[in-house]
Amino acid sequence: MFLTNSAASPKTSAANQTALEARLWHEIRAKRLDGWKFRRQVPIKDYVADFVCFEARLIVEVDGPLHKEPENRLRDAERDAVLRREGFRVLRFDSDIALGRMVDDIRRVLKAPPLPTPR
C-alpha cells in the first residue's frame, strides 16, 4: 500500500483486511511461525507493508485483483525495489493462493540466509 495524505492509516487498513489476510495473520502472529515475530500494517518509507518480520528483514504482501492491472504491477515493482534497497526481502502472494502454501513459502524464505545489510 502506498501512503499519501489521503491514504488510510495502518490501523484503519488492518481493520479492513481481507479474510485471507486475517487467516494469515492468525498463522504468523505471536511468534506462531517457528518463533519469528511478525507485525502487520507497518509503515516503511512511503509505504505500508502488510506483514513484516524485522529480524528476518522479510515483508509479506497479499495482493488482491487490483494488483494484476498493468499500472499497479509497475507500481508494485517500483515499491519492491525501494524496499529491497532498504534490505528487505519481499514476498508477494496473489489472494487466490492457498494459505498453507503461503505459510510454507514464508517458512522456506525464513530458513534462507539473510540478505546483506544495506550501507
3-class SS at 6? coil
Q: Parallel, antiparallel, or unpaired for β 89-94 and 58-63?
A: parallel
Question: Model confidence at 2, in pLDDT bands (50, 70, 90)?
Answer: very low
Question: Model confidence at 106, in pLDDT bands (50, 70, 90)?
Answer: very high
Question: Model confidence at 90, in pLDDT bands (50, 70, 90)?
Answer: very high
| Range 16-41 average pLDDT | 94
pLDDT at 9 over 90: no
- Name all domains of the chain by residue range, CATH numbers in brackets: 25-109 (3.40.960.10)
Cell numbers that stand for 101 in this block: 502454501
Percent of the chain with pLDDT over 90: 64
CB 42 within 8 A of CB 52: yes
